[in-house]
């Protein structure tokens, strides 16, 4: 592992970032700097207050994309950022963490394990600030321009109406790069921002195939299906009510009372159905809410 400083006039400076307006005069880095890590880059951003749906769909999409050799770029914050980094390293993929602080400062501090994993797996810690310089309110949007600038495309998983993730999305538009967005339930505050992006022209993402095809247009072996044959087989023997539960949980995590109301069932009956589905491994529970286990 190495660390150092790359100036904008250095031939090793990422060309995609150098061609954007207000590109940093220098980048400080820690990790394995190599041109290959910058060849195919997808920025992944989203809410710090992600839902269980957001965590599951981000993990699924990013792990499948990173497994194809596409570098995942994000901002290291808790929520979608950290989930994206973890998903990438979990499949042996490369990821770049662009920090809102100096490269030697781990922020947030409790993610020191993630910081170390990124470096151990051949990724990069990157910043336009040196050493242990701390973050400030203005450093986050400056960090976002680097995240977008390094990447051919940006994927927004979840974003509230005024989310900081939309700053990255706007930089992506300014740089004339590809913008992807994951749809979500309109009843969720963290879906409003992504819904607006889709309305304004962002490509809607329902599986990883479209993203992979963008980076690798000549590949013919990409599975664009959202549900595998094995998953379909698991669903074939479900009752009508169990299928209705899945249809509702596909869009958002719900509690027993929510399910009971939507299926017009007594709460105890709904609870029994949910418990049986948990035993079958079709759904899982986090806190007081249920979600489909195979997103």
pLDDT tens digits, residue range 211-252?
Answer: 999 999 876 555 544 444 444 445 556 788 988 898 788 767
What are the φ and ψ backbone dihedral angles of 182, each rounded to 5 degrees? Answer: -90, 125
Q: What is the pLDDT of residue 290?
A: 87
The domains of the chain, with CATH numbers, are: 2-215 (3.40.50.450), 229-292 (1.10.10.10)
User: Which pLDDT tens digits describe the chain residue by residue (295 residues)?
Assistant: 688 999 999 999 999 999 998 899 999 999 989 879 999 999 999 988 888 888 888 999 999 999 999 999 999 999 999 999 999 999 999 999 999 999 999 999 999 999 999 999 999 999 999 999 999 989 999 999 999 999 999 999 998 888 889 999 999 999 999 999 998 877 788 889 999 999 999 999 988 989 999 999 876 555 544 444 444 445 556 788 988 898 788 767 889 999 999 999 999 999 999 998 888 778 888 888 888 765 4
Global pTM reads 0.78
């Amino acid at each position: 592992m190495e660390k150092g400083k790359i100036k904008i006039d250095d031939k090793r400076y990422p060309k995609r970032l150098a061609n954007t307006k207000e590109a940093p005069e220098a980048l400080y880095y820690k990790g394995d700097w190599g041109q290959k890590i910058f060849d195919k880059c997808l920025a992944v951003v989203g809410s710090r207050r992600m839902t269980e749906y957001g965590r599951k769909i981000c993990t699924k999409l990013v792990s499948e994309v990173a497994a194809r050799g596409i570098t995942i770029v994000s901002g290291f914050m808790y929520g979608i950022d950290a989930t994206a980094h973890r998903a990438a390293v979990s499949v042996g993929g490369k990821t770049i963490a662009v920090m809102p602080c100096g490269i030697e400062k781990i922020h947030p501090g409790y993610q020191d394990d993630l910081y170390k994993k990124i470096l151990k797996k051949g990724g990069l810690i990157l910043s336009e600030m040196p050493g242990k310089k701390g973050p400030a309110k203005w450093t986050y949007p400056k960090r976002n321009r680097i995240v977008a600038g390094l990447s051919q495309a940006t994927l927004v998983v979840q974003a509230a109406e005024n989310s900081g993730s939309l700053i990255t999305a706007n930089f992506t538009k300014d740089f004339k790069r590809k913008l992807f967005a994951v749809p979500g339930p309109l009843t969720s505050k963290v879906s409003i921002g992504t819904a607006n992006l889709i309305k304004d022209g962002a490509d809607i993402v329902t599986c990883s195939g479209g993203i992979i095809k963008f980076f690798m247009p000549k590949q013919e072996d990409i599975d664009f299906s959202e549900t595998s044959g094995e998953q379909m087989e698991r669903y074939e023997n479900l009752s009508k009510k169990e299928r209705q539960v899945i249809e509702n949980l596909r869009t958002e995590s719900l509690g027993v009372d929510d399910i009971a109301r939507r299926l017009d069932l007594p709460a105890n009956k709904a609870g029994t159905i949910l418990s049986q589905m948990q035993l079958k491994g079709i759904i899982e529970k986090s806190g007081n809410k249920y979600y489909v286990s195979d997103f």
